[in-house]
Each structure stands twice: as C-alpha cells, then as structure tokens.
Amino acid sequence: MSSVLVVGGGLAGLSTAAFLAWHDVPVTLVERHTGALRHPRARAVNNRTMEVYRGIGLEPAIRAHRSHAADPGALLLRVDTLAGKEIWRREAVAPAGPGSASPCGWASIDQDELEEVLQGRAEELGADIRFGTTLRTLDVRDDGVTALVEDGTGQYEITARYLVAADGHRSGIRRRLGIEPDGPGVLGDTFTFLFVADLHEALNGRTISVVHIEQPRPGTVLLPHDGDRQWVFSAPFEPDVDGPPEEFTEEYCADLVRAAIGVPDLDVRVVPQMADGTTILTYQLGGRVAPRFSDGPAFLVGDAAHQVPPTGAFGASTGVQDTHNLAWKLAMVLRGEAGPSLLDTYDTERRPVAWFTLEQALLQLRDRTGRDVLGNGAKPAEYDSVVFGYRYGPGEALPPEELRGQVGTRAPHLTVTRDGTGLSTVDLYGPRFVLVTTDGDAARPLEKEYPLDVYELGTDLDAPDYLAAHELPDDGALLIRPDGFVAWRGTALSGELRAVLDTALHRR
C-alpha cells in the first residue's frame, strides 16, 4: 500500500511525486499515456518555482536543459507568413539571473524536458512512476482510496491513504467527486502538432523563439522544438466548424503548415507527440477554479484544481506551488507529526491564490490582446508580486522588496553564512520547520518534540542583517514552515513557541 496515489503524469503530477518522495513518503504515480508528451508547452520556470525545485536538488539538471527559445538572438515575431511580411519583431530577452529577491534566476526549459528531469529525480528518490497505466475505477472512503488500474499486463488494485488528482483541466477524478469549477469558463480551443521541415529559407537567417502568424488563421503560432528541423504548430479552431482535430489528416496538417510558412510546395512531415503514436492534441484556454481543492482523502492539484490562461505564464508554476504546499503537510500527517486537520489548510491557502492568479492572467490577457473577460477596470499587480508576494491569509500581494517576514508570506531571501559557507536563507527550509532565533538555548529542547530545526543568530548563522531585514527586535525569532512561508514571528520564549508549534501542526 502506497501512502499516496497520484493520478496524472504531467508537470503537477510529477512534481507531486518528486516532492513527496523527497519527504520519504511512499508514492505511486499512474499515467495513462505510455510516455511524456513531446511538446514544449511552458518554456520557462520562474524564479520562485526554481527555488522549490532547488530545494530537492533539481536546479543544476534544469539549467542543463536550456530551451531553444532562449538561443542567442532569438526573436519574437508577428508575421503574415514566415516567408512573407513581417508585422513586428522584438528580441526574446533571456530570463534574468539571480537578483535581490531570490537566489535563483528564471530557467529557460521546455516543459517536455522538465517533465523528463522531474521523472528521473522522482524515481531516484524512490517514487514508483507507472506510465501506460489507466485508472478504471476509484473508490474513495474516509480512510483511504482503492483504485482499479489497467496496464499492458491486465487489471489490478492500488490502495493508498491519500489520493492526489493531477489529471488536468478535464479531470475525471474531479468529476467523480462531484466538483464543478467556477469562473469565466472556456476562452477558446486550440490544436497542436509537431512537424519536421527545412525552414531555413523562410527564416532568412532569423533565429526564432515564438512566431505569431496570421495565416492560415489568426492566432497560429510556430515554435522551435529541436533547434533545427522539428517545429511545433498550433492554431485555434471551432469544433462546430472545423470538426474534431483528432480526425485531421496528415496532408491537411501539412497544408496548414505550408500556408503558415508561405511556401506552397514545402516538404512537411507530421510526427507523433506521444510514445503511443498520437500526433494531434487539443487543449482549451480557460479560466476556472474548483470550489474546493479537497474531498476527504482526495486532493486536486494543478489544472485539475484551476485552469489559468497562458498570458503571464502563471499557470504551470501555480500548479507546482500547489504540490509543494501539499507535500510537506501530507508527509507530516502520515508520520504523526501533525494532526489530520493540517490538510484542511491546503484548500484554505491555495484556493484564494488560484483565484488571485487567474485574475492576474486575465488582466494580462486584456492588456496584451484587448480581450476584457473581467470587465472590472482593475490594474494588474506587479509581476513579481504575483510570483513572490501572494500570501496565505488576509492582505494584498506584496512586491519582493516589501517582504519582511510577515506571517503568511514567503520568507525573504537573504544571504547568510553557515559553517563558513555562504547560502540563501531559502536553502534552510525543507523537510522541517525552521526557527531562526537570538536565543537557541531556549528553543533547542523543542527539536526533540517537534519537526523543528533551530538556528541561533551569531552561532549557527552569521547573518548580521537578519533582524533588520525582517524588522525583528533584538530578541526576535522567526518560525518558517517547510514550504518557506512564515508561520509566526515574535521573541524566543519557549513556552509560547510550544503553543505556536502545536497550532501550526494542528496538534490541538
């Protein structure tokens, strides 16, 4: 019996498996497709998401798989056809390196590459990843779940204490649980496929990151895939007019490419996106949030919990933050370190963040395209406030420079020295709560009673600016959760800390 069953092998599901395995939680992941999707989709990881991947040792591997979208001199273009009239161009600026807000810079990596890296790390940490395994039936009870699954060898059961649904915006598990999402709904339908062709003549010496093409229909997009002859084509469609894209023939797809490139006799070969031979995939642009993210032992993450349009590139990272928030809570409850009601905070914390993020993506959509879905005249928040500054509890999102260790916010990045080695405070947070205090002697006995690491300023950490950066008094202390969010701030009084930890861990 696995402690946790994850259904869905995309970015959210694989992140869930990796985070849980890093917390030493037995986890099994099932995915009906036989292999990862060969499509770049999201093409960069923001610096907050890089922080959480850094925490499980993934930063070097992610940076080793640089996307071709970040090739030197790569351009963002809008054209009539690739070989024809150029409407506008600008340089695709590479994501910035580390700054004052974070020890991590953005990482340019295609999502298909990222998913392979995640799968490898999850399996290295002990996760049981089963592609080509389809969920047939699901029995959800208060004390756990039983799933009937099927692979190439036949059907069998998997039992687990908890279930994580990472099965996408059409989530079958969400429907089985009777959870219907709220929000603006479907904003459009898109189909996509990979093709191989020699586009050097049409490119005319240009290196491209993304090309927006007017032909054969506005909204057509071309992306490089392998940096040479393999490309990604996507375009909007109307199901009632165009029919189901799954029935589009290879020649029809090739003609669409020829029209977009502007070369009528171009040699085009459509290639599979999936190991099972699937060539055409569809997805919906939408804006929806589930009214609850949990139901008994079942939890929704990623697109199963919220569907966010791609403007702003918030959606994928929001799903990763879901899994990061949930994983440490599941681990502590399963180990008996926390009370079961700690898991209720997953919904109360993450659902408001999902609504906030959806609103920001829709405001970005309005400002970039003129399509005003909300119609409320609101101004978007600062971009880094959306990435770093959302909070668990009341209050608006804050820009990184205003993060001072307020309760419910991400603890700010600060460079400190431990055992003669410089590191970020972000690197201190992981499997246990962290208490940074001016009085280690008063707090260290609590390490035996709670999942807690105590760092005394001036002894364990050389951090002269720590108190000032967090606006703490001379006898100040800060308690940070495993996900890097501040649970409490005050002074180093062991009696108060015991009560604070009992509350944070829902032991009472």
In a domain, 303, yes or no: yes
In a domain, 228, yes or no: no
Domain-terminating residue out of 326, 344, 362 = 344
CB-based contacts of 147, cutoff 8 Å, min separation 6: 5, 7, 30, 135, 136, 137, 138, 139, 157, 158, 159, 160, 163
Same domain, 338 and 420: no
- Range(s) of the domain holding residue 466: 415-504
In a domain, 46, yes or no: yes
Tokens of 309: 């349009």
Amino acid at 504: A
Residue 111 CA to residue 192 CA, distance in Å, equals 15
Intervals of the chain under pLDDT 50: none
In a domain, 231, yes or no: no
Same domain, 52 and 150: yes
Tokens of 502: 């009992």
Same domain, 432 and 295: no
Which pLDDT does position 67 carry in this prediction?
Answer: 66
| Diameter over CA atoms, the chain | 79
Amino acid at 282: T
Which pLDDT does position 81 carry in this prediction?
Answer: 96
Total of domains in the chain: 2
Same domain, 446 and 319: no
Same domain, 335 and 427: no
Same domain, 338 and 423: no
| CATH number of the domain residue 498 falls in | 3.40.30.120
Domain-terminating residue out of 344, 362, 393 = 344
Each residue's pLDDT tens digit, 72-93: 678 888 899 999 999 888 876 6
The DSSP code for 382 is P
Which pLDDT does position 35 carry in this prediction?
Answer: 66
Alpha helices of 299-427 — where are they, by DSSP H? 315-334, 344-369, 383-388
In a domain, 18, yes or no: yes
Total length of the chain:
508
Same domain, 38 and 120: yes
| CATH number of the domain residue 172 falls in | 3.50.50.60
Residue 215 CA to residue 197 CA, distance in Å, equals 17
Same domain, 331 and 429: no
Residue 34 CA to residue 133 CA, distance in Å, equals 8
In a domain, 208, yes or no: no
> Would you say the pTM of this structure is higher than 0.85?
yes
Which pLDDT does position 71 carry in this prediction?
Answer: 63
The DSSP code for 135 is E
The DSSP code for 85 is -
Tokens of 269: 């070969």
CB-based contacts of 490, cutoff 8 Å, min separation 6: 476, 477, 496, 500
Domain-terminating residue out of 306, 328, 344 = 344
Same domain, 332 and 439: no
Which pLDDT does position 25 carry in this prediction?
Answer: 98
Per DSSP, which regions of 43-181 are E strands?
A: 75-79, 86-91, 128-131, 134-141, 144-151, 154-165
Which pLDDT does position 366 carry in this prediction?
Answer: 84
CB-based contacts of 491, cutoff 8 Å, min separation 6: 473, 475, 476, 477
Which pLDDT does position 369 carry in this prediction?
Answer: 62
Same domain, 298 and 430: no
Each residue's pLDDT tens digit, 16-75: 999 999 999 999 999 998 865 555 556 678 999 999 999 999 999 998 887 655 566 788
Cβ neighbours of 338 (radius 10 Å):
23
Same domain, 326 and 419: no
Full 3-state SS string of 396-458: CCCCHHHCCCCCCCECCCCEEEECCEEEEHHHHCCCCEEEEECCHHHHHHHHHCCCEEEEEEC
Same domain, 450 and 304: no
Tokens of 97: 């390196």
In a domain, 50, yes or no: yes
The DSSP code for 237 is E
Residue 10 CA to residue 232 CA, distance in Å, equals 19
Residue 430 CA to residue 480 CA, distance in Å, equals 10
- Residue 65, SS3? coil
Residue 271 CA to residue 254 CA, distance in Å, equals 11
In a domain, 309, yes or no: yes
Q: What's phi and psi for 288, nearest 5 deg?
A: -150, 150
Contact between 492 and 438 under an 8 Å Cβ cutoff? The reply is: yes
